[in-house]
């Protein structure tokens, strides 16, 4: 166990600029670090993070979400365990897989992507981040829920404040206050809509949640509000960064971009490799239920554990040439990359595996396909080098591109 004397602090500007060299040192020399500012134990090796997520011995809990997530969302499915978690997951999961996803929401995804692309396809230039990626998933979620997309700016403001709260590792008081305000503002916005929807059920996701029942259990207004808040933040932020990252990674590897352009069936492989190589979420926390032995020492019971997904996904003991982006790698299984059997850690694993993984996959596949159709000679703007930013979540902040204008 170490107190991180040999690596940059995770709150430092050096780490934020490029965490990957620090991750390598952590994995090799300091796989277990006590981090005083966040009062947490940091783990960085694939085998340790995978063990925490799969948690076959009930050694880890999500009790940390009581203070990390509940202040901004209310109580969510992420905090639940046992039968309570199983029932809540059964209530919400059907909307994100199978016929509901295929029949109800794929057209919503396709339409929202096309509308955004139509706004710039004739211009010959765009910023993939600001013109598309930050808007697309939020618009999709609003449409799925049957909310007014004219409120996009409010949705984006709320989820930005929530993500800032979750990543507020330094404890900035203003960031904390802004995040907590979103819970009040979002409740004031959503609760009247939920109550009205209960009386006027439609074909949207919000109606599905209002009507869902499992073993005699239905979701309360507060349950639905909290889930919608979580969906907006988690689905908006992660898909936003995933789309920007997959395009950036392909642009930086022209041979692989050409391969994807020629064979669109490679898009899932490119997405899976992006989730491994540059995951949208770089760290997830858990709490120990008992003393736990991991690489480098023992984590005591009741401690917060910071699991470094961004490091684990580049562990050389698990992946060949882990610091290379390679959509053709044979040590990452694309067919299971969007399920609880995934062999990357970007969606977590086990009972808290991301419920929206298939929705994200659909958004990325449709979005990348339509972007490549509209921009067959897609290229970076002259002199621009994509730069990732962020510690808790991470991705390109801008991605200006050029292309030959096309008509709809």
What does the pLDDT look like over 266-275, one tens digit per residue?
A: 999 999 999 9
Place of tokens 């999500």: 62
Find how far residue 14's CA is from the centre of its chain: 23
Please provide the DSSP assignment of 149-163 as one string: GGGHHHHHHHHHHHH
The proportion of the chain whose per-residue pLDDT surpasses 90, expressed as a percent, equals 62
* Most confident region among 4-13, 157-166, 173-182, 258-267 by mean pLDDT: 258-267
Question: Is residue 2's pLDDT more than 60?
Answer: no
Residue 258 inside a domain? The answer is no
With a cut of 90, say whether residue 86 has pLDDT above it.
no
Average pLDDT of the chain to the nearest whole number: 90
Q: Is residue 76's pLDDT more than 60?
A: yes
| Residue 342 belongs to a domain | no
Is residue 67 in some structural domain?
yes
The token pair at 226 is 């909290």
Q: What is the pLDDT of residue 5?
A: 56
152: in domain = yes
Please write the tens of the pLDDT for every residue from 193-218: 999 999 999 988 899 889 887 778 78
> Rounded to 10 degrees, what is the CA torsion of 132, 135, 141, 146?
-110
Contacts of 150 (CB under 8 A, 6+ apart): none
Give 281-297 pLDDT, tens digit per residue: 999 999 999 999 999 99
| Token couple for 161 | 């404040």
Residue 193 lies in a domain: yes
Counting residues of the chain whose pLDDT is more than 70, the rounded percentage is: 95
Is residue 72 a contact partner of residue 180, using CB atoms and an 8 Å limit? yes
Mean pLDDT, range 146-175, rounded to an integer: 88
Give residue 198's pLDDT.
Answer: 93
What pLDDT was estimated at residue 8? 84
Mean pLDDT over 145-174 rounds to 87
Cα 164 from Cα 175, distance rounded (Å): 7
In this prediction, residue 66 carries a pLDDT of 86
Q: What is the mean pLDDT of residues 77-92?
A: 71
In sequence order, what are the residues at sequence separation of 6 or more whose Cβ sits closer than 8 angstroms to the Cβ of residue 125? 381, 400, 401, 402, 403
- List the structure tokens of 100: 């509901």
Q: How many CB atoms lie within 10 A of CB 34?
A: 16
Q: What is the pLDDT of residue 101?
A: 67
Domain-located, residue 349: no
Within 13 Å, how many C-alpha atoms sit on residue 189's CB side? 17
Among candidates 250, 364, 391, 279, which has minimal Cα distance to 46? 279
Mean pLDDT of the region 60-69 = 86
Q: In this structure, is residue 375 part of a structural domain?
A: no
**Residue 150: CATH number of its domain:** 1.10.630.10
Domain range spanning residue 54?
A: 26-242+281-320
In a domain, 336, yes or no: no
Give the pLDDT score at 1. Answer: 55
Distance CA 207, CA 147 (A): 11
Q: How far is the first Cα of the chain from the last one, in angstroms, to the nearest whole number?
A: 58
User: 342 — alpha (psi -120 to 50), left (phi > 0) or beta?
Assistant: beta
pLDDT attached to residue 100: 67
Res 251 pLDDT > 90: yes
The pLDDT confidence band at residue 314, using thresholds 50, 70 and 90, is very high
DSSP secondary structure letters along 354-380: -TTHHHHHHHHHHHHHHHHHH-TT-EE
* Strands (DSSP E) found in 276-331: 283-288, 292-294, 297-299, 304-308
Domain count for the chain? 1
Q: Is the pLDDT of residue 163 over 90?
A: no
Which whole number is the average pLDDT over 305-309? 96
Q: Which candidate, 122, 35, 10, places its Cα nearest to that of 408? A: 122
User: For residue 3, what pLDDT band results from cuts at 50, 70 and 90?
Assistant: low
Cβ neighbour number for residue 25 with a 10 Å cutoff: 15
CA 61, 64, 66, 69 torsion: positive or negative?
negative
Q: Please report which helix (H) or strand (E) contains residue 43, including its range.
A: strand 40-43
The CB density around residue 146, as the number of other CB atoms within 10 Å, is: 15
Q: Is 390 left (phi over 0), alpha (psi -120 to 50) or beta?
A: left
């Amino acid at each position: 166990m170490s107190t991180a004397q040999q690596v940059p602090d995770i709150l430092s500007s050096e780490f934020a600029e490029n965490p990957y060299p620090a991750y390598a040192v952590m994995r090799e020399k300091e796989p277990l670090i006590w981090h005083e500012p966040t009062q947490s134990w940091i783990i960085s090796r694939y085998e340790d993070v995978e063990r925490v997520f799969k948690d076959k011995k009930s050694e880890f809990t999500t009790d940390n979400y009581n203070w990390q997530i509940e202040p901004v969302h209310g109580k969510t499915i992420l905090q639940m365990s046992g039968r309570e978690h199983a029932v809540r997951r059964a209530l919400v999961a059907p909307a994100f897989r199978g016929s509901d996803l295929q029949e109800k929401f794929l057209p919503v995804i396709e339409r929202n992507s096309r509308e955004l692309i139509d706004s710039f396809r004739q211009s010959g230039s765009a910023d993939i981040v600001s013109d598309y990626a930050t808007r697309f998933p939020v618009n999709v979620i609003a449409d799925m829920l049957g909310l007014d997309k004219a409120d996009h700016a409010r949705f984006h403001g709320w989820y930005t404040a929530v993500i800032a709260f979750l990543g507020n590792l330094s404890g900035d008081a203003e960031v904390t206050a802004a995040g907590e305000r979103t819970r009040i503002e979002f409740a004031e916005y959503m609760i009247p809509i939920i109550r009205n929807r209960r009386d006027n059920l439609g074909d949207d996701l919000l109606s599905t949640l209002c009507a869902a029942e499992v073993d005699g259990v239905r979701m309360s207004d507060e349950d639905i509000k909290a889930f919608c808040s979580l969906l907006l933040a988690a689905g908006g932020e992660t898909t936003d960064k995933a789309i920007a990252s997959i395009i950036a990674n392909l642009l930086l590897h022209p041979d692989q971009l050409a391969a994807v352009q020629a064979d669109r069936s490679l898009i899932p492989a490119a997405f899976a490799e992006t989730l491994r190589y540059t995951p949208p979420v770089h760290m997830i926390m858990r709490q120990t239920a008992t003393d736990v032995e991991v690489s480098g020492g023992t984590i005591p019971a009741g401690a917060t554990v910071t699991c470094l997904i961004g490091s684990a996904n580049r562990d050389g003991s698990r992946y060949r040439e882990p610091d290379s982006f390679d959509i053709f790698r044979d040590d990452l299984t694309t067919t299971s990359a969007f399920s609880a059997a995934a062999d990357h850690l970007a969606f977590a694993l086990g009972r808290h595996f991301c419920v929206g993984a298939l929705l994200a996959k659909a958004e990325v596949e449709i979005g990348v396909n339509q972007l490549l159709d509209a921009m067959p000679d897609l290229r970076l703007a002259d002199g621009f080098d994509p730069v990732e930013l962020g510690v808790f979540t991470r991705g390109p902040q801008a991605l200006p591109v050029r292309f030959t204008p096309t008509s709809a």
